[in-house]
Structure 1
Amino acid sequence: MKKEQRIKTTEEFSQVFKNGHSVANRQFVLYALPKEGQSFLRLGLSVSKKVGNAVIRNQVKRYIREVFRLKEEDLLGGNDYIVIARKPAATMDFFEVEKSLLHVLKKAHVLKKSKQR
């Protein structure tokens, strides 16, 4: 993802946590906040040290970024998303991460209508 598509600062994270809506399953928590005048999506990630060591945490983050990259055209643009990984995400492979994230995205109603089934 490009740098302008990432949420980095504490203020940006706080704004999404405060004003966005959240949806969760056992592996992930998703916060979504629509942004006026923003044509692209932005993604913030939070993977706690409870999930695993640095190698595991970085792998989980890479998997999440890749799912968002692949599904970018199916997601509603102009939103800020924050994904928080929970402990079970550490033992998942890419396809399990993808399935779990798609489940959370469907629950949050942020996929385009033609792609929801």
Structure 2
Amino acid sequence: MKKAYRVKSEQDFQKVFHEGRSVANRQLVLYTYPKIGQTHFRVGLSVGKKMGNAVKRNQIKRYLRHGLIELEPYIENEWDFLLIARPDIRNKSYEEIKHSIQHVMNLAGIIHKEK
């Protein structure tokens, strides 16, 4: 995922977290914040230490990033969002994680089916 597609600064991260809307399922919490006029979405990932050691946390982040890359054509452009992993995600396969991402994005209304 390109750096331009990431929410990097602490200020942006906090703005999405405090002013955005949230939806959740058992594996993920998704905070969304509209950014009108933005040419592409931006995402921030958070995987806490309760998920396991660094190897496991990095694996989860890779699965999340890869799932977002595959869903990119369906995600609306004018959003900043945060994906926060919950402990139930630890033992899930890549396909289950991708399905979970798609589910929370459908709940939030930032994904569209045509394309």
Q: What is the TM-score of this pair, normalised by structure 2?
A: 0.95
> Over aligned residues, Cα RMSD in angstroms?
1.2
Deviations 1:64-116 (A, max 9, x none): 1111111111011121110000111111110010111111111111112537x
Give the aligned residue type for 1:90: R
Give the aligned residue type for 2:26: R
Partners of 1:13 and 1:41 lie apart in 2 by 14
Alignment of 1:28-39 (within 5 A): 28-39=28-39
Change (3 A) 1:72 1:88: same
Q: Which residue pairs with 1:63 in the alignment? A: 63
Alignment pair present for 1:80 and 2:71? no
Partners of 2:113 and 2:89 lie apart in 1 by 27
SS of match in other structure, 1:91: coil
Q: How many residues align?
A: 115
Partners of 2:62 and 2:88 lie apart in 1 by 16
Partners of 1:104 and 1:36 lie apart in 2 by 21
Give the aligned residue type for 1:82: L
Alignment of 1:3-18 (within 5 A): 3-18=3-18
Percent identity over the alignment is 45
Structure 2 residue runs of 5 or longer lacking an equivalent are none
Alignment of 1:22-61 (within 5 A): 22-61=22-61
Give the aligned residue type for 2:23: V
Q: Which contiguous aligned blocks of 4+ residues in structure 1 show a shift greater than 3 angstroms?
A: none
Deviations 1:11-38 (A, max 9, x none): 1111101221110011100011110221
